[in-house]
Amino acid sequence: MKLWNKGFEPDESVELFTVGRDRELDLKLAKFDVQGSVAHIRMLNSIGLLKNAELAMLTHELQKIADKIESGDFEIEQGVEDVHSQIELMLTRELGDVGKKIHSGRSRNDQVLVDIKLFFKSEITELAALTEQLFDTLIELSERYKDILMPGYTHFQIAMPSSFGLWFGAYAETLVDDVILLNAAYKHADQNPLGSAAGYGSSFPLNRTLTTELLHFETLHFNSIAAQMSRGKTEKTLSYAIAAISGTLSKLAVDICLYMSQNFGFVSFPDELTTGSSIMPHKKNPDMFELIRAKCNRLQALPNELTMVTNNLPSGYHRDFQLLKEIIFPALDELKNCLNMGNYMLQQIKINTNITDLSLYDYLFTVEDVNRLVLSGVPFRDAYKKIGMQVQEGTYQPNRTVNHTHEGSIGNLCNDKIKDKMSQRLNQFVIR
């Protein structure tokens, strides 16, 4: 069954090529298609295009379909083009001509748009929750290890003292920035396109404000062409948020892979969370984080990939948009998996609590000693030269005492402030 059927069937090879992965991916949209249809028929009833009895019959059947979706018994039958066709087919089988009335006043274009926007709102909410869980783990680790020093590096060279508290807290605060982009993606999706039809509205007296309220959108995409132009733009907005979170996860994974190596030895994990070698019996590899790194690096290409699909398209609908589902739907699943596994691994991380006691890290403390001289009254350039000459001559003996007090330093992590920032960002989500 095809919603556009006019008495002929396309060439089978054309149908296979154009349908693509829709039957598979549309299963993610099924419950949202039902939600959109329920709102649409209530609106049609309000403007006299459906009788009360017809509304009741359609609502009842749509609820039965919703129950099948919830139980996992819903499927898109062979020969049926997509989820929208499947649901209309099921209604028509049960209700005859009444089922055929459900499409009045809408196009598959705005029907798809509604489904996708509702789906994205749900997915973004889930991503925000998973990001918050990872954030909470990082803050907890930051507090637990706030007094444990670790080496800081610039240019891969030993630089200055850091701490595990500062390191964990850095990734926590970076996630706050990522949530800002998630929020922007949510707001972009939180606009109702239903009633824009194929992009040029309808001659029916549709009540688009009513469907906006029924579907719990914040507002309308008022201009019907603008509503259709949001196809692709909404996906790209979300892709930037996905890429941002992925960038944070990837950098964290790189750090951990580096710090797990024997040359660093800063962190480790229980044996069962590592993998081995087929010929080297000593190996305990960080495969989990290597895969997170690779997956998240690939996800950071998402905005560019979506841009390449949509960049040269004029206004109006084009079949190119179908490919966006094949790109972004799997990406959402990939990022959720990475967030879950990253959080799981971090909850079991082990810290080397004495790493900076090694003579290897003596030079970490040169700046501390320069600053001590400055605080005692020595001009900075003279203090810098004095410590520098000790390093050059091989006579430098570090004072490993560290006393940092300013906001965001080793001794003043400001984790309470970072938690407040995250709470403010998350509170901006008005979940509807």
| Distance separating alpha carbons of residues 192 and 93, to the nearest angstrom | 29
Q: In residues, how long is the chain?
A: 432
Distance CA 295, CA 227 (A): 32
The Cα–Cα gap between 384 and 374 comes to 9
Q: Active site includes 216?
A: no
Q: Contact, 186 vs 124, CB < 8 A?
A: yes
Residue 351 backbone phi and psi in degrees, to 5: -110, 135
Residue among 108, 84, 89 nearest 99 (CA): 89
Catalytic position from the list 13, 71, 155, 376: 155
Q: For residue 161, what is the enclosing H or E element?
A: strand 157-163
Helices 415-427 and 164-189, axial angle in degrees (round to 10): 10
Residue 250's alpha-carbon distances to 128, 403, 417, in angstroms, are: 18, 31, 25
**Residue tagged active-site, from 261, 277, 315, 423:** 277
Positive or negative torsion for Cα 106, 109, 112, 118: negative
CA–CA distance, 246 with 335 (Å, rounded to integer) = 7
**Spatial separation of the C-alpha atoms in residues 403 and 412, rounded to whole Å:** 10
* CA proximity to 274, closest of 351, 349, 333: 349
- Structural contact between residues 217 and 189, judged by C-beta atoms closer than 8 angstroms: no
Sort strands 191-192 and 219-220 into parallel, antiparallel or unpaired: parallel
Phi, psi dihedrals of residue 52, rounded to the nearest 5°: -60, -40
Burial class from Cβ neighbours inside 10 Å (0-12, 13-18, 19+) for residue 247 reads middle
| Residues forming the active site | 155, 277
